[in-house]
Amino acid sequence: MWYVFAVLQEPGPRFYDGPIPEIFGVVFDALRDIGRVGFLDSDDMAALDEYHPLGRGATLALADLAGVASGEDVVDVGAGLGGASRVLARYYGAKVTAIDATPRFNSLNKVFCDRSQLEDKVKIMRGDARRMPISGPTFDVAWSQALWQDIAEKKRLAAELHRVIVPGGRLALFELVSGPGGELHYPLPWADGPEESFPISSREMRELLFRADFTEIAWKEGPEVLAAAKDAAEGVSGMKAGAGLPGVDLSLIVPNFAQRVATLGRNIEEDRIGLVMGVLRRD
């Protein structure tokens, strides 16, 4: 399901762009090497398609905090490879629209949905989070994970999220924020340098969302976020925690991934980056 849309594009790491056949080749060669040539269980890709800190645990914790329910319309903004979209569709019964500005991520997302038989439950659209191809209030839940640090125009992002949610609907977010520890070390999973990275503090994010007519329902920071993700991953009932297939992980598509993750860990340890998880009502 493809929609042609003229998008604005924030600066980003070079690996966000590039030939679609190249990313397909790398991923599907890895799958063939371990004997996966047809049907994919959506959990098989968890080490690759949960492209955010804390992985599947963070997705499950946020879905529970937001109370995502069967039949709800959810827009996954900055969906990437669609890991969270498939979790919300498969395990929570949501009707999901996955929006991302990166064509190669959308293409791979579509193949993953098709091969895990979720193509009727996840609609894939190309679009920019600051100007989504949605005509008006449509969704019960807007969902974002590790998106905000990619976008400089935060006021515009908040207004756009508000615009596409129906009155009384919710914004569910799991995001990275700047901490008091100083300037960030690079490279990071989302940026090669500061010209591609735009985190704000938790206080600034909450104030911005308040001004955009959102009302907080729940807000967690730091250790609370880590505990929630850990509990969600360990306490899954009737779902897989999603370790993923061996060798099918983000190192396939993200150059120097181990270095980027190590640098992220250093920033968190030095209080230069924090994690927040929140649910807000659209007034």
Domain of residue 98, CATH code: 3.40.50.150
With contact defined as beta carbons under 8 Å apart, do 105 and 17 qualify? no
What's the CA angle centered on 41, arms 36 and 45, to 5 degrees? 75
Indicate the pTM of the whole model.
Answer: 0.92
With H, G, I as helix, E, B as strand and everything else as coil, classify residue 220. strand
Instruction: Give the other-Cβ count within 10 Å of 155's Cβ.
Output: 11
How many structural domains does the chain have? 1
Report how far residue 261's alpha carbon sits from residue 253's, in angstroms, rounded to the nearest whole number. Answer: 14
- Checking if the pLDDT of 21 tops 90, the result is no
Does some domain include residue 50? yes
With contact defined as beta carbons under 8 Å apart, do 139 and 123 qualify? no
What φ, ψ does residue 168 adopt, rounded to 5°?
85, -5
Does some domain include residue 122? yes
Q: How confident is the model at residue 241 (pLDDT cuts 50, 70, 90)?
A: low
Residues 179-208 have pLDDT tens digits of 999 999 999 999 999 999 999 999 999 999
Report how far residue 16's alpha carbon sits from residue 122's, in angstroms, rounded to the nearest whole number. Answer: 22
Report how far residue 58's alpha carbon sits from residue 125's, in angstroms, rounded to the nearest whole number. Answer: 23
Does some domain include residue 8? no
β-strands 73-77, 139-145: how paired? Answer: parallel
Q: Is the dihedral of CA 13, 127, 170, 62 positive or negative?
A: negative
Q: What is the pLDDT of residue 14?
A: 64
Q: Is the dihedral of CA 171, 176, 181, 186 positive or negative?
A: negative
Identify each DSSP E strand in 53-121 by its residue range.
73-77, 95-100
Query: Which residues constitute the domain of residue 82?
Result: 14-282
Does some domain include residue 263? yes
Q: Is 25 exposed, middle or buried (0-12, 13-18, 19+ CB in 10 A)?
A: exposed
Does some domain include residue 58? yes
Report how far residue 91's alpha carbon sits from residue 72's, in angstroms, rounded to the nearest whole number. Answer: 13
Does some domain include residue 2? no
Does some domain include residue 7? no
Q: Which two tokens stand for residue 271?
A: 């209080």
Residues 55-92 have pLDDT tens digits of 999 999 999 999 999 999 999 999 999 999 999 999 99
Q: Which two tokens stand for residue 27?
A: 């991923």
Rg from Cα positions in the chain: 17
Does some domain include residue 6? no
Q: What is the pLDDT of residue 157?
A: 98
Residues 205-231 have pLDDT tens digits of 999 999 999 999 999 999 999 999 999
